[in-house]
Amino acid sequence: MSSFGGRMREYPSLSIDRFDRDNLRARAYFLSHCHKDHMKGLRAPALKRRLACSLKVCLYCSPVTRELLLTNPKYKFWENHIVSLEVETPTQISLVEEASGEKEDIVVTLLPAGHCPGSVMFLFQGEKGTVLYTGDFRLAKGEAARMELLHSGNRVKDIQSVYLDTTFCDPKFYQIPSREECMKGILELVRSWITLSVYHVVWLNCKAAYGYEYLFTNLSEELGVRVHVNKLDMFQNMPEILSHMTLDRHTQIHACRHPRDDEWFRGNRLPCGMTSRDGRRLHIISIKPSTMWFGERTRKTNVIVRIGESSYRACFSFHSSYSEIQDFLNYIQPVNVYPNVIPVKTTEDKLREILKPFCRSYSQNHESIYKPLGALKRCKAVYSADRDDDNGDELFDADLVSSGHKIPKLEPESVSLQNQPPPENSQENTQATNYKATATPTSFQVDFVECEESNDEGEEEEEEEETGKKRVLAEVPPHAADSTTALKDLVGLVPLVPACEQRGARQEANKVLPKWDAFFKRTVEDSDASEHEDSCLPTTDSGEPQSPRLFSDEEEFSDSTHISSQTSSQSTHISEQGSQGWESQGDTILISSQEQKKLDFSSLKRAEGRDMFYTSHCSTGENRTGTQSCIPLDYGTSCIKDFNGECSARAQEGATAVPTLRNSVQLQSISERGSFQERSVALSHEAHTSFQTSSDFEIPSSLDTKVSEPNKLCS
């Protein structure tokens, strides 16, 4: 829950995500996303009065947020005061003090935050330097490095302050399985259940908030079953969401709600009241997406854990994990970091202690001495598909596909659960291994899906140590030297890729296999190298409904079930990772690498096509040319360009990749303060050939900012 007061130290005349008290005097308002804890005061009479007296005061947000807000009648009065800004489109805003006429110009850029539909971070550039307000965010490791607009030329912008989502800035949440991993786990659980019969239904016990749409649409698309919800008028102009949800309760996937839905569920009743179909009783399981619950586990768990006869917990997070936050900050290296969220169990001081090492002044004092001289010249990180240090976090991002990596094709067919090959040994997923993965990326190959546990004191110590090492070893990005001349530096912050090139790159990227393959390839090799037997999935088929077997049982529950005992006897190899047997492992991994290989790989390709919807990639170019056909959902982060990926795709297509003189010259001309040497080094990377200099773009002023028109929103 955000405890951000609304105002940043550098730009106190702006208010973000808070609209009460002092914020009533703001010159401009910003809303990062449509969650209530970021909307305090947004419909209060005091603010309503202010709007009534002022034509100029505006609320800035993403097009999706605008849509979600205005479909709620309680916020309709904002209609004439909302300005939606396209994501990744630097926009100049004039802040006028209405009484005095005093004026201040600021450039704001919305960056995708990956938290919920429409969620963005705000990057402000003005007289007081460049500051980043993250709102709530979930970004995988490496995603900051791929956000072009966090860079000037090939250097990271000089960011004075970051106002940071610290929800899971706690070692307890050191690692949270990636969105894809969680999605995959849920997908297979749902698939395994609803394919048993039409009377088998799933209830997704989701909280009433935006953010689960990603889950619903994926399930619907993969399984061809729409998700029943209570309400969907807010998505009326977002056809890609609308088409996967339904108000018709005759479906096998439900995310509907009722005040006493838990109670109803215990009575084998869905929140919408359904208990049967064709007079026959329904078999209902509930899946509750949770993050905290997994964070509290003292042992490793799968992303899915069975907690009762028909109840499951699924790991699912809207917020970045501790290590993702670390990665983000480590890349940005701001001068200051301020926490937006002070979790109940912690204090602002404690958080600051955690965050301090990522502030530049601290790292200059503590880190640079360990660096080889060369590393002091910080280059924009180029994330390569060959990079081995991901834990799969990046796999979500369809834009990150790379053709540079030689990848074996995996079976695209999804095999139904009943016919699944046996689980394989899922590798030594010990905690220590994972930590090493972070610290020494090149040597690590994660198998998959695990919740890290960090409750053990000794392990936490180890973690701190490793984290420290990582920081020392990490290549630190360069920063643009300026902070006070941000406006002048706009050449470095406008989109660098013309829309046509973006599209071309995407099309090419879509032809190649996503990084998933590389990921699993490594997994397969590892699996082969390690011991595992070809045991089988339980094959009992009494005709009675069976619970899915891909997943873990909670300890107290496991012994009481037929399924788990069976699994237990057949899967002892899984526990080779430690000296403990399966039984003592409790919630041990059940999805093996083998199973993962067999999962519906084609779905991941489909996801690529879908990301045009979930993200707002290309919006900067396409919107201007009027070809955008629906509201781009700034949910994910696929709009982030992977330089290397694009480059590789081009190279493979035979495109000539020439680091042009033109680029070098232009960069030199705009890098008065920076080191040309650094820039030219980075430029020699062919990736940059697909960018043109930013001077080809004009920055739209806020006055010209167009509100997305309905006919453009819905094709």
Partner DNA sequence: GCGATCAGCT
Partner DNA sequence: CACAGCTGATCGC
Contacts to DNA by CB under 7 A: 1-2, 20, 35-38, 41, 43-45, 115, 136, 167, 205, 207-211, 259, 261-262, 289-293, 296, 316-319, 343-345
Tell me how far apart the alpha carbons of residues 684 and 285 are, in angstroms, rounded to a whole number. Answer: 55
Cβ 74 to DNA, closest distance in Å? Answer: 8
Cβ 368 to DNA, closest distance in Å? Answer: 36
Cβ 224 to DNA, closest distance in Å? Answer: 28
Tell me how far apart the alpha carbons of residues 207 and 292 are, in angstroms, rounded to a whole number. Answer: 14
Locate the DSSP E strands across 146-260: 151-152, 155-156, 159-164, 200-204, 227-228, 245-246, 253-254
Half-sphere exposure for 497 (CA within 13 Å, toward CB): 28
**Shorter beta-carbon distance to DNA: residue 342 or 589:** 342
Give the phi and the psi of residue 436 in degrees, each rounded to 5.
Answer: -60, -35
Tell me how far apart the alpha carbons of residues 569 and 547 are, in angstroms, rounded to a whole number. Answer: 17
Strand pairing category for 129-133 and 283-290: unpaired
Cβ 327 to DNA, closest distance in Å? Answer: 20
**Shorter beta-carbon distance to DNA: residue 290 or 596:** 290
**Shorter beta-carbon distance to DNA: residue 66 or 471:** 66
Tokens at 118, concatenated: 């429409």
How far is residue 495 CA from its own chain's centroid? 21
**Shorter beta-carbon distance to DNA: residue 207 or 250:** 207
**Shorter beta-carbon distance to DNA: residue 317 or 420:** 317
**Shorter beta-carbon distance to DNA: residue 259 or 654:** 259
Q: Are 30 and 122 in contact (CB under 8 A)?
A: yes
DSSP letter (8 states) at residue 355: H
Burial class (CB in 10 A: 0-12, 13-18, 19+), 398: buried
**Shorter beta-carbon distance to DNA: residue 1 or 500:** 1
Cβ 116 to DNA, closest distance in Å? Answer: 7
Task: Identify the CA nearest to 316 among candidates 534, 116, 510, 499.
Answer: 116
Cβ 291 to DNA, closest distance in Å? Answer: 4
Cβ 290 to DNA, closest distance in Å? Answer: 4
Cβ 638 to DNA, closest distance in Å? Answer: 20
Tell me how far apart the alpha carbons of residues 26 and 16 are, in angstroms, rounded to a whole number. Answer: 9
Helix (H, G, I), strand (E, B), or coil: what is residue 457?
A: helix
Q: Are 357 and 366 in contact (CB under 8 A)?
A: yes
Tell me how far apart the alpha carbons of residues 341 and 601 are, in angstroms, rounded to a whole number. Answer: 37
Tokens at 481, concatenated: 């030297």
Q: What is the largest CA-CA distance in the chain?
A: 80
Cβ 18 to DNA, closest distance in Å? Answer: 12
**Shorter beta-carbon distance to DNA: residue 73 or 372:** 73
Cβ 170 to DNA, closest distance in Å? Answer: 10
Cβ 359 to DNA, closest distance in Å? Answer: 25
Task: Determine the angle formed by the axes of helices 431-439 and 457-473, rounding to 10 degrees.
Answer: 20
Task: Identify the CA nearest to 156 among candidates 380, 337, 361.
Answer: 380
**Shorter beta-carbon distance to DNA: residue 17 or 678:** 17
**Shorter beta-carbon distance to DNA: residue 44 or 55:** 44
**Shorter beta-carbon distance to DNA: residue 300 or 641:** 300
Tokens at 125, concatenated: 């550039």
DSSP letter (8 states) at residue 33: -
Distances (CA, A) of 59 to 204, 220, 232: 34, 34, 24
